[in-house]
Amino acid sequence: MDQHIKDVLNSYVSDSKITKGYYRVKIEEYWKSNMSQGIVDLTEYVLYRNGIVTIRINSAPLKNELFNSRARIQQLLNEFFNKEIVKEVIIK
């Protein structure tokens, strides 16, 4: 049986507990590496659970701006994973 390492890792990551942790970590990494430093500095946390990404922001104007960009954030994250894992984005 000749499997590529990617296939082995994908089957390992498909376990639901591992997948949830993997998505959580990758979403946090994505946020830190793809958002401006100003946004990252004002972000208290980014959480992923059951298809919902919750982002806590420490600035009312930025919170309002990101609230209006929830659909775009969802689209970017789903494109990053090449599958629809984010069903909703909540800005707090």
pLDDT score of 12: 65
**Total domain count, the chain:** 1
48 DSSP β-pair partners: 53
Average pLDDT over residues 73-80: 96
Q: 8-39 as b/e, with b when 16 or more CB fall inside 10 Å? A: eeeeeeeeeeeeeebbeeebeeebeeebeeeb
pLDDT score of 4: 76
pLDDT confidence tier of residue 78, bands split at 50, 70 and 90: very high
pLDDT score of 55: 97
pLDDT, tens digit, 9 for 90 and up, residues 50-71? 999 999 999 999 999 999 999 9
Q: Across all residues in the chain, what is the average pLDDT?
A: 89
pLDDT score of 56: 97
Question: What is the spatial distance between Cα 26 and Cα 52, in angstroms, rounded to a whole number?
Answer: 14
Structure tokens at 48: 């992923």
- CATH code (residue 79): 3.30.70
Domain coverage including residue 84:
5-91
Question: What is the spatial distance between Cα 54 and Cα 88, in angstroms, rounded to a whole number?
Answer: 8
What are the helix (H) ranges across the chain? 5-13, 16-34, 37-41, 60-67, 70-81
pLDDT of 33 > 60? The answer is yes
